[in-house]
Structure 1
């Protein structure tokens, strides 16, 4: 992490990194070397100890973390925020709900990787009496712990589309002073290896409320969960042939370490289209 004098010297906008649900700050270990090479300061927010805490409380902790880092680095200017998965909901809750009217948090870009902006269809599916047990069995040891009970998971309950957290986000709406950019992946070649648990597909809820599977997703988050009015959307890989080699790198869990994703994040941070 860079010192304050290094921040002032590089004149680069600091980046706040926010990991997702049941994840950790180490997911950024392919991005942070690129940030260092570009002399971009980064502040890696760790909320691993807050697993039983609602997203609203984690958003408050994120707010305090940013304030602390500003004070320690004597930096009053804007920041960029890069998030993975539910980390995007946490950052959005800070910006749109907690700070929505105050506008005290100066944020230039909010970049979300595989974000469930409209609530997580999969979290809802966990609780479905028909599909839930089978889905949890398929994901055990891969995406959820073995013998996992979603009823005991505060975050999983609060990212369901009908939760208080998601209702607050819908009510607040997006901020016009923040550039929202979301990076998604799609199984363009229908390879089962993108996310083997679901044969390369992603569960989503159709407009009529029925459950269905789609290749328009990363195995965990379908595109319909991510779309947000006014936000820029990129769907990777840019070339379908990229899925022939390591297709699982385009699955949800590995997206923050995916080389193409890292390149796109850096391009946005450096001001490229």
Structure 2
């Protein structure tokens, strides 16, 4: 019995890219700490009793609990139980502020308490002129249980403060939008300090701060690096963009963008993550989760992602990335050189950032130099931008992971050819193809196109672009590394990750090459993540 017609094209999705991973986020009611003074236990009970029906009323009790525990900390009690009780009280105060819709950022809020009224005000630990804190919510993360294959380990740090996720109050939830700063679940920690009737709430960016000073004394700052990331993936449903952007890239053209996952810091090295076919930035979650747990990397790196519809031919996606890097350069002139990581087709895009093409690619298509090729104006600029480029001076190191530098035979087998036909080619590329066919008379060695190419076409070993770019060396000054999967068989150089064979992913001249026992999703392999960590620490050691 023959399988249904849709089975073949769907199977290629799973063959060409990583298996779907999941994120599980469930709400739960945080349990109040038990080892606290009787009066604090009573304040906690009243806080929870009022939490739903009168959140503003519960705020006073939460502040009273926090003050009592701060007093114990200031008296020298640094036990985990006391820190936890303080953090619990601060988290309940954050919940009350959020649910009651209070805005202590704009002006002090008068909060009735058991011993009188509190004057609650909020501020940022580090002033940030680009942010208006009143536009954001603070969500205490101890009210969530996180799991799933992306979060086998939750990266946290013990200390003082209530870890929170910071998110804009009115995000755009449309799936047509990918990760963006306006919907980002930022990673932060809240502390509240008391002086007389004043309650000073301070929001700390825990990816930039490891310590907090309360009343002249320094403590480790508590942090949760995983839960805000899980909330982002769960609420924004980013992973759902993978297949739809492959099949209909033009519809999701506005999702092609470079996004910063944290506030820009000119002193930190940007680490840019570029995903592969039928994928989104969500695929980097396991690596991002572990790398941000490293104190050196967390202190000296800032993470960016490039998201794009993977149905585009990857040379065109590389053009989009160059435009985004140019925009970043204009917005943040003098930023530190970028370390770039590319998985699968994302590695092919990264490869084009390291290359001086000259007119080699142009000649491969047209059989003559650009100045001798007659092409209508509006199409010529697009083609020159895609085929004629120089290596980026703003990229200092690149890590290729499971990258088909010489293509993958899966792209040319029967499934690959069928699936390639399912990709809806954007009008811009289709119109460019039609203009070339109608205007240019090509010789036998030059371009022949029966249709505009899709991303899968440009992963084929016999593709004209793939063969031509393979003959162009990477710029001499570029530093690059390779991480390659072999499915655990250990038969390199005859190995494969199931999609990309070793002969395609190997690059002469790499500063290091790590073979890991993994399928094509090598960027999620623990050994590969450890290798990326090693390379980043090496880079940071040598960087100014």
| TM-score, normalised relative to structure 2 | 0.36
Secondary structure (helix, strand or coil) at the match of 2:322 reads helix
Checking the alignment, whether the CA contact within 8 Å between 1:118 and 1:227 is kept in structure 2 is: no
Q: State the partner residue of 1:150.
A: 420
Task: Determine which structure has greater relative contact order: mean sequence separation of CA pairs < 8 Å that are 6+ residues apart, divided by chain length.
Answer: 1
- When residues 171 and 217 of structure 1 are mapped into structure 2, their CA distance, relative to the original with a 3 A threshold, is closer
Could you tell me which of 292, 302, 306 is aligned with 1:45?
306
Secondary structure (helix, strand or coil) at the match of 2:289 reads helix
Secondary structure (helix, strand or coil) at the match of 2:292 reads helix
Residue 2 (structure 1) aligned with residue 262 (structure 2): yes
Residue 256 (structure 1) aligned with residue 544 (structure 2): no
Q: State the partner residue of 1:18.
A: 274
Deviates further, 96-105 or 155-164: 96-105
Checking the alignment, whether the CA contact within 8 Å between 1:159 and 1:165 is kept in structure 2 is: no
Unpaired runs of at least 5, structure 2: 1-260, 358-385, 424-453
Q: CA deviation at 1:152?
A: 4.4
Q: State the partner residue of 1:181.
A: 481
Could you tell me which of 79, 88, 105 is aligned with 2:393?
105
Spell out, residue by residue over 1:11-51, the C-alpha distance to the aligned partner (whole angstroms, 9 max, x if none). x4211111001111101101223343422111100013x51
- When residues 100 and 230 of structure 1 are mapped into structure 2, their CA distance, relative to the original with a 3 A threshold, is farther
Q: State the partner residue of 1:229.
A: 508
Checking the alignment, whether the CA contact within 8 Å between 2:353 and 2:392 is kept in structure 1 is: no
1:1-273 counterparts in 2 under 5 A? Answer: 1-4=261-264, 6-8=265-267, 12-37=268-293, 38-39=297-298, 40-48=301-309, 50-51=310-311, 53-96=312-355, 97=357, 102-124=390-412, 126=413, 132=414, 136=415, 149-153=419-423, 154-189=454-489, 216-231=495-510, 232-237=512-517, 250-252=518-520, 254-271=521-538
Query: Aligned equivalents of 2:407 and 2:478: distance in 1?
Result: 21
For these two proteins, the number of residue pairs brought into alignment is 215
Secondary structure (helix, strand or coil) at the match of 1:221 reads coil
- When residues 270 and 71 of structure 1 are mapped into structure 2, their CA distance, relative to the original with a 3 A threshold, is farther
Unpaired runs of at least 5, structure 1: 127-131, 137-143, 191-200, 205-213, 238-249
Q: CA deviation at 1:104?
A: 4.2
Secondary structure (helix, strand or coil) at the match of 1:230 reads coil
Q: CA deviation at 1:228?
A: 1.9
- When residues 266 and 258 of structure 1 are mapped into structure 2, their CA distance, relative to the original with a 3 A threshold, is same
- When residues 171 and 77 of structure 1 are mapped into structure 2, their CA distance, relative to the original with a 3 A threshold, is same
Checking the alignment, whether the CA contact within 8 Å between 2:318 and 2:350 is kept in structure 1 is: yes
Query: Aligned equivalents of 1:101 and 1:266: distance in 2?
Result: 31
Query: Aligned equivalents of 2:285 and 2:334: distance in 1?
Result: 24
- When residues 99 and 73 of structure 1 are mapped into structure 2, their CA distance, relative to the original with a 3 A threshold, is farther
Query: Aligned equivalents of 1:104 and 1:257: distance in 2?
Result: 27
Query: Aligned equivalents of 2:287 and 2:350: distance in 1?
Result: 19
Spell out, residue by residue over 1:50-95, the C-alpha distance to the aligned partner (whole angstroms, 9 max, x if none). 51x2211100111112223334444433111101011111121233
Deviates further, 16-25 or 102-111: 102-111
Query: Aligned equivalents of 1:103 and 1:185: distance in 2?
Result: 27
- When residues 102 and 189 of structure 1 are mapped into structure 2, their CA distance, relative to the original with a 3 A threshold, is closer
Query: Aligned equivalents of 2:288 and 2:487: distance in 1?
Result: 27
Deviates further, 27-36 or 114-123: 27-36
Query: Aligned equivalents of 1:35 and 1:69: distance in 2?
Result: 23
Query: Aligned equivalents of 1:151 and 1:259: distance in 2?
Result: 35
Query: Aligned equivalents of 2:401 and 2:484: distance in 1?
Result: 6
Checking the alignment, whether the CA contact within 8 Å between 2:354 and 2:478 is kept in structure 1 is: no
Secondary structure (helix, strand or coil) at the match of 1:14 reads strand
